[in-house]
Amino acid sequence: MIYNYKDLLKIYGNRSNINKALKSRKIYKLEHNIYSTKRIIDPLILYSIKYPYGVITLDSALYYYNLTDVIPQKVFLATPRNYRVLSNKNISQIFVNSKFINVGVKKIKIGNNEINMYNKERLLVEIIRKRKTMPFDYYKEIISNYREIVDELDTQKIEEYLLLYKNHNSIAETIEREVF
């Protein structure tokens, strides 16, 4: 179970009892204001709770959906453009237009927790948009894996997501040429 400090105050009553629980390892401090009954938890859950306005995206979401076998070294988190820069070395922050941050968000249940993650269709559009910044072999692996699940993709959603971007025609042509 994951708690913030306020939750722990309700459970343990005061700071002294919380410190005793930490020393006896009944609870663990994972990050500032984030505590757990387990010493190690999934980073997707941890950072989804710590930054609830963020959305898991790119490498982290691709790995979760088994579209790559490359384990991301950081959690890729999309945040609105007007949010502060996150100073967390374990997060790669992607700034997204505030109007579009929640487009294509899917609630994923991991254990007892729900996290926000972009669906496969939104990820495909994002991958095509960012293809020039990715290592070529990595990009090809992802596209190859998308070809294998092409029948599962909702083309209407892809078309809807494409309209979010000015260069939607060129993104659509690339998706058509490389995936479908």
Q: Which residues pair with 118 in a beta bridge?
A: 105
Contacts of residue 136, Cβ cutoff 8 Å, sequence gap at least 6: none
Buried b (16+ CB within 10 A) or exposed e, 29-44: ebeeebbbeeeebebb
- Would you list the domain boundaries of the chain? 2-36, 43-178
Predicted confidence (pLDDT) per residue in 39-97, tens digit:
999 999 999 999 999 999 999 999 999 999 999 999 999 999 999 999 999 999 999 99
Q: What's the maximum distance between 2 C-alpha atoms anywhere in the chain?
A: 62
Provide the pLDDT for residue 9.
96
pLDDT band for position 136 (cuts 50, 70, 90): very high
- Name the region of 104 (left: φ>0; alpha: ψ -120 to 50; beta: rest): left
Show the tokens assigned to 120: 């496969």
**What's the pTM value of the predicted model, to 2 decimals?**
0.89
